[in-house]
Amino acid sequence: MKTQDTFKFAETHEWASTEDDGLVWVGISNHAQEALGDVMFFQAPKIGLLVKQGEAIAAIESVKAASDIHAPINGEIVALNEEMDTSPEVINEKPYAVWLFKIKPTSTESLAADLNSLMPLAQYESGPGA
């Protein structure tokens, strides 16, 4: 997995990392996990679900709140992080090392456009993630 310096961020606090396998790994930002507090439950999207950028597709719950997780790109859900079923609290310990699900992009062209609409870390930290 790459470092958060290479991640792209949505205004809704998800990060997206394009990996060498061509898939986009998705997690939540440090800002999001801090706002949530102790994460207790993750409701994952279904494998095979076709998603649109910005669409609420999953949910994460803590002792303080529940929050939707949005798709940062267009594509298909192809993998889920099974660790989130038994130990969702790991997201609080290392939000940039724990992915929630993986998306296979609709196309290379679609992926480029989707990623261009997201923010690099510095921009995210000076705006929504500040």
pLDDT of residue 130: 63
State residue 24 phi and psi, 5-degree precision: -105, 120
- Domain-wise residue ranges, the chain: 8-106
- Res. 5 pLDDT band, cuts 50 70 90: confident
Q: Of 26, 2, 23, nearest to 14 (Cα)?
A: 26
Tokens 């961020």, residue? 9
Class of domain 8-106: mainly beta
State residue 79 phi and psi, 5-degree precision: -155, 150
- Res. 127 pLDDT band, cuts 50 70 90: confident
Single pTM value for the model: 0.94
Q: How far apart, in whole angstroms, are the C-alpha atoms of residue 49 and residue 23?
A: 15
Q: What is the average pLDDT value for the chain, to the nearest integer?
A: 94
- Given a cut of 90, whether residue 24 has pLDDT beyond it is yes
Q: Of 57, 22, 59, 24, nearest to 43 (Cα)?
A: 59
pLDDT tens-place string over residues 62-110: 998 899 999 999 999 999 999 999 999 999 999 999 999 999 999 999 9
Q: How far apart, in whole angstroms, are the C-alpha atoms of residue 60 and residue 92?
A: 12
pLDDT of residue 3: 67
pLDDT of residue 39: 96
